[in-house]
Amino acid sequence: MFVGYEPQHIGDKDIIAVTIQKGTDRPYYLGSKGLKPSGVYVRNGTSSDPATDTAIRRMIKETDGDSFESMRSLEQNLSFEAAKKQFEKQNIPFDAAKMQTLGMMVSFLQRKSTKLLQPDFWRN
């Protein structure tokens, strides 16, 4: 449901609070203006303001179906050891089960790395 409403009592007034969810095919734009700030508006309180180019790109990215897991990393100097250290800094366990959950195991198997199979790698 994209629209919801709920009666509320605020102060001495009875009101109806209306909630409108974001659409799934954003950004919506004026056909005559196209996907540019003069044709795309964002709600800002009680007014509608022209969207910035950055906001338009963000809306497209949010709704295009891509997820960060499938995106190419700009940082290419990656290693499982570095990932393990980052997880440890946050006190998050980093083991084979976690790697599989995060979709990292496929990469590991494709590389046929044996270092992660060594018991010392998983010990703190």
Asked if residues 39 and 29 have their Cβ atoms less than 8 Å apart, the reply is yes
Domain ranges in the chain? 3-65, 70-122
Collapsing DSSP to helix, strand or coil, 17 comes out as: strand
What is the spatial distance between Cα 88 and Cα 124, in angstroms, rounded to a whole number? Answer: 9
Q: What is the pLDDT of residue 51?
A: 94
Higher-confidence residue of 113 and 43: namely 43
Q: What is the pLDDT of residue 55?
A: 92
Collapsing DSSP to helix, strand or coil, 39 comes out as: coil
Express each pLDDT in 67-102 by its tens digit. Answer: 555 666 666 677 778 888 888 898 888 887 777 777
Higher-confidence residue of 49 and 76: namely 49
Instruction: With a cut of 60, say whether residue 112 has pLDDT above it.
Output: no
Best-predicted range by mean pLDDT (2-11, 49-58, 65-74, 114-123): 49-58
Q: What is the pLDDT of residue 109?
A: 53
Provide the H-helix boundaries in 32-103.
53-63, 80-89, 96-101
* Structure tokens given for 89: 């800094």
Cβ-in-10-Å burial (0-12, 13-18, 19+) of 105 comes to middle
